[in-house]
Amino acid sequence: MILGDSFTPGTFADAFRFIFDHATLMLDKTAETAELSFAALGVALLLALPLGLWLGHRHRGLFVALGVSTIGRALPIIALVAFFITLFGSIGFWVNAAALIVLAIPPLLTNAYFGIEGVDRDVVEAARGVGLKESQILSRVELPLGLPLLLAGVRIAAVFVIATATIAGTVGGGGLGEIIANQASYGLSGVLAAALCVSALALVTAFVIGLARSAASRRMAPRT
Amino acid sequence: MYRKHTRRAAKAAFAVSLGVALLIGLAACGGGGGENTTTTTTTTQASGKPTIILGSKNFSEETLLGQLYGQALQAKGFKVVYKPSIGSSELIDTAITSGKINFYPEYTGVIVLDLAKEKSPKTVNATYRAAKKYEDGRGLTLLDSTPFEDVDTFTMLTSKANALGVHKISDMTKVAHFSYAGYPECQTRATCLLGLKNVYGLKQVQFKPLSTISVYTLLDNGTVTAGDGFSTDPQQLQKKYKALVDDKHIFGFQNVAPVVSQKLLSGSNGRLLEDTSNAVSRRLTLNAMQQMNNAVVVAKVSPTIVAKKFLQANGLA
Amino acid sequence: MSGWLLADGHGGPVIPNFGQGSACERSGGWFCTDWVRANWSSTLQPALVQHVELTVIAVAVGFAIASLLAVVGYRWRPFDVPLGVFTDFLYTIPSLALFILLVPFTGLTVTTVEIALISYTLFILYRNMVAGLRGVPDEALEVARGMGLTRVQTFFRVELPLASPAMFAGLRIATVSTVSIATVAAFVIPKGLGEPILTGLQQSFGTEILAGSLLAILLALTADGLLALFQRGVTPWTRVR
């Protein structure tokens, strides 16, 4: 599908010039990729978090958590996209979102599970002894303590989804992937430009979530 | 505390893993290096016949054509290395001019209109001559072309065409807004989107790029109004789809002719190569290609087998 | 057009009967077992073998490089941050883009695909290995020092074995991920299980998509299982729960 123009150090400079020359295009496409990624992440969070939190709280379903994690990693993105395309019979936003949601669930589920499950049992017992209801234990004790690990999972899922969302672009999903898949029209500098934008989007997202994670850890650190 | 033998086992496991890893890495580098040495156009075998590095583009008819020419040449003792699914004409053209391949089947109209960016010739033969002239000036050349043509089309669902009351492409000017699906390179081609916009004046078209899904699937699901179907697609024979008449002839004449590097034809085996290729081209009539495309796309027979059966039936393999 | 034919003297080419395919194949169905049986040795099995090759090479070389980098990053802290950032960055580049960008350097070859796959395994393995080495409890190091072991001896006899659970976990994750990412290689070279998936997608042929996908998933899970067994055999103390 792809072939080389020649890749010289100049191509990097060309890529940056491409971004400046086509600023609106790059912004639009980046926004499209971001929209797809965050929508998929959102839905995946809604689906995976409650299950993961509940299982972790009950200390049940270790095999589910581990199994889902492994299988999720084993699912090739193009297989998922191909499956949903043929299932829905069309291309478009929700076909790709469906594939990304399936991919995002495993890391979210696993980290939610281990985040809650790993909370010191003594602390949980103490809370129970004080008379807190189960739901309160989960929301007021386990969740804050498990938040760092949970957010680490969100970060992993976010980076993965953003990078993978570009593959969706090759099957009409729009976004930066459309540029990457279209070397004939945009040239190698365009492809590099799009790849750099994806990287930037992923790194910025990871950084922001990382900040949240640090804040969560610090808040829970024992004060001595 | 852990027992001594399991500690040793862990160390041994690491040593073994690392050793295996390094060995595989070295073997891979050696093998990879060997593969790269076949990318020059003048590699020859002991018998003196040049190695043919045969490229084809990223759709099934091209893969089929690649197999047809490749297997025929192999039957005559040439070594053929296949490089399928390279991409659009623009990209495969870069491949052959940079020596990464030295033989690939191309459509004459695409060469003249999209690569050379010249005006559309008026006949089949004129198109062939213009294409050959263009390639001759670049260290390449064109072998004989095929009887069959495969042109782009403006395909719609027949029901949709009837509903809109359109019969030829010029009729689309009365449609306020419509979408057209095609390969990404369609956007910059006179035989595609540019022709629709500039020659037909259809500025209202919205382009939808596709790369791995069949345009007929998109038409079936109403995702697009019209799309770039190829005239030799088996689906074109179905009443369900209708190709509008190209009354302003933007799609050109599109017979297939192999583009080869001139270096490949020099030497004592050049004549044999030419003759073998021409013998194949001569037999690729419209009917033959439609039947073969049907076998690949509808009956799901692999292009390799379809090519083999056709060549054997015609005494070419 | 027919002028070309008549000049040859023949009436036209012989067109053999290619068959119409079964009803299942014609409709692009998902479970055409006759197609699978007919095309196993010509299409599916070679794709599977190529996929195994791609994965094994990528993980093996990635493991070797990551081991070296991890030792460097662990011993000399100043190197850890840049190495970590670099491998992080590699991971954010979409696989397809990385393939495309490497093609001008290394062509449409397996080498291009391998370089990209190795970059991704580096990210996972490096992080896990360094974390594993860092996770070695200080008490164990104290004991080693008390026993009079040299730095090198301590590394091989204490740190490495204790870090191996984390390293194996990383190896398993890297292997499964590589099998998955290697399917994208089919966009560049027609090798691996991504090829039947893409071809099936182009022809709207569910069986081919499903065959390629299932084989990829099974391959990943089998590899994971084998590595898990290997890990159990080599680090039995982690079995105690």
Q: For chain C, what are the domain ranges?
A: 42-233
Give the highest mean pLDDT range of B13-27, B135-149, B217-231, C159-173: B135-149
C94 and A177 in contact by Cβ < 8 A? yes
Residue A31 CB contacts under 8 Å (≥ 6 apart), including other chains: none
B11 and C157 in contact by Cβ < 8 A? yes
What are the pLDDT digits (tens) for A31-59? 999 999 999 999 999 999 999 888 888 88
A83 occurs within a structural domain: yes
Residue B196 CB contacts under 8 Å (≥ 6 apart), including other chains: B154, B169, B180, B202, B205, B250
Separation CA A157–CA B190 (nearest Å): 43
Strands B103-107 and B256-261: antiparallel
Residues of B whose CB is below 8 A from C13: 283-285, 288, 310, 313-314
Answer whether A91 touches C (CB < 8 Å). Answer: no
A184 and B87 in contact by Cβ < 8 A? yes
Separation CA B24–CA C121 (nearest Å): 15
The pLDDT score that the predictor gives to residue A1 is 38
A1 occurs within a structural domain: no
Separation CA B49–CA B273 (nearest Å): 9
Provide the 8-state DSSP code for A181: T
Question: DSSP assignment of C157-211, as one string?
Answer: IIIHHHHHHHHHHHHHHHHHHHHHHGGGGGGTSS-STHHHHHHHHHTT-HHHHHH
B259 - beta bridge partners? Answer: B104, B142
Q: At residue A134, does pLDDT exceed 90?
A: no
A183 and B98 in contact by Cβ < 8 A? no
How many C-beta atoms surround the C-beta of residue B222 within 10 A?
Answer: 11
Average pLDDT over residues A158-181: 82
Question: Closest to B90 (Cβ–Cβ): which among A85, A91, A184?
Answer: A184
The pLDDT score that the predictor gives to residue B8 is 61
Answer whether C12 touches B (CB < 8 Å). Answer: yes
CATH among 3.40.1020.10, 3.40.50.1820, 3.40.190.10, 3.40.50.2020 for B52-149+254-313: 3.40.190.10
B10 and C42 in contact by Cβ < 8 A? no
Residues of A whose CB is below 8 A from C216: 74, 76, 79
In whole numbers, what is the pLDDT of chain A averaged over residues? 84
CA nearest A111: which of A53, A44, A188, A169? A53
Q: At residue B15, does pLDDT exceed 80?
A: no
The pLDDT score that the predictor gives to residue A7 is 57
Which comes out higher in pLDDT, residue C68 or A6? C68
pTM: 0.82
* Confidence class for position B35, pLDDT limits 50, 70, 90: very low
Helix, strand, coil percentages (3-state) for chain B, rounded to 5, are 50, 15, 35
Give the closest-approach CA distance of B192 to chain A in angstroms: 13
Helices C45-75 and B4-36 cross at an angle (nearest 10°) of 120
| CATH classification of the domain holding A104 | 1.10.3720.10
Q: Looking at the domain that runs over C42-233, which CATH code has it been given?
A: 1.10.3720.10
- Does an H or E element contain C104, and which? helix C95-106
Residues of B whose CB is below 8 A from C19: 295, 299, 301
Domain span at residue A214 reads 23-219
* Confidence class for position B41, pLDDT limits 50, 70, 90: very low
The number of distinct structural domains making up chain A is 1
What's the alpha-carbon Rg for chain C, to the nearest Å? 25
A49 phi and psi, to 5 degrees? -60, -55
A2 phi and psi, to 5 degrees? -130, 160
What are the pLDDT digits (tens) for B78-128? 999 998 888 778 888 988 998 889 999 999 999 999 899 998 898 999 999
Which of A111-120, B22-31, C205-214 shows the lowest per-residue confidence on average (mean pLDDT)?
B22-31
Question: What residues of chain C, 166 to 195, have a C-beta less than 8 Å from chain B?
Answer: 190
Question: Closest to C92 (Cβ–Cβ): which among A5, A85, A163?
Answer: A163
Residue A6 CB contacts under 8 Å (≥ 6 apart), including other chains: C104
A101 occurs within a structural domain: yes
B211 and A185 in contact by Cβ < 8 A? no
Separation CA A49–CA A113 (nearest Å): 8
Q: pLDDT above 70 covers what percent of chain B?
A: 85
B242 - beta bridge partners? Answer: B156
A29 occurs within a structural domain: yes
Q: Looking at the domain that runs over B154-244, which CATH code has it been given?
A: 3.40.190.120
B87 and A1 in contact by Cβ < 8 A? yes
B21 and C64 in contact by Cβ < 8 A? yes
Give the closest-approach CA distance of A130 to chain C in angstroms: 29
Separation CA B111–CA B132 (nearest Å): 9
Dig out the tokens for C62 from the structure: 């990635």
The pLDDT score that the predictor gives to residue C6 is 42
Separation CA C64–CA C61 (nearest Å): 5
Separation CA A179–CA C150 (nearest Å): 55
Average pLDDT over residues A186-192: 84
The pLDDT score that the predictor gives to residue B167 is 93
A16 occurs within a structural domain: no
What are the pLDDT digits (tens) for B211-249? 677 889 889 888 899 999 999 999 998 999 999 999 988
The pLDDT score that the predictor gives to residue B102 is 94
A82 and C107 in contact by Cβ < 8 A? no
Dihedral, A123, A126, A130, A132 alpha carbons, nearest 10: 50
A78 and C197 in contact by Cβ < 8 A? yes
Answer whether C125 touches B (CB < 8 Å). Answer: no
Which of A112-126, B129-143, C4-18, C29-43 shows the lowest per-residue confidence on average (mean pLDDT)?
C4-18
Give the closest-approach CA distance of B66 to chain C in angstroms: 14
Dig out the tokens for C95 from the structure: 């696989």
A176 occurs within a structural domain: yes
Give how far Cα A32 sits from Cα of A35, A170, A178, B205, Å: 5, 14, 10, 21
Contact between residue A198 and residue A166 where contact means Cβ atoms under 8 Å apart? yes
Q: How many CB pairs under 8 A join A and B?
A: 64
How many C-beta atoms surround the C-beta of residue A89 within 10 A?
Answer: 15
Helices A143-169 and C77-92 cross at an angle (nearest 10°) of 50
CATH 3.40.190.120 placement within chain B: 154-244
- Does an H or E element contain C230, and which? helix C206-234
Nearest CA in chain A to B101: A3
Cα torsion angle, C66, C68, C74, C76, sign: negative
pLDDT along chain C (241 residues), means of 10: 42 84 84 89 92 95 91 85 82 83 80 91 86 84 86 83 84 92 87 90 87 94 92 70 42
Q: How many CB pairs under 8 A join A and C?
A: 136
Which of A169-178, B95-104, B127-136, B249-258 shows the lowest per-residue confidence on average (mean pLDDT)?
A169-178
Separation CA C101–CA C82 (nearest Å): 23
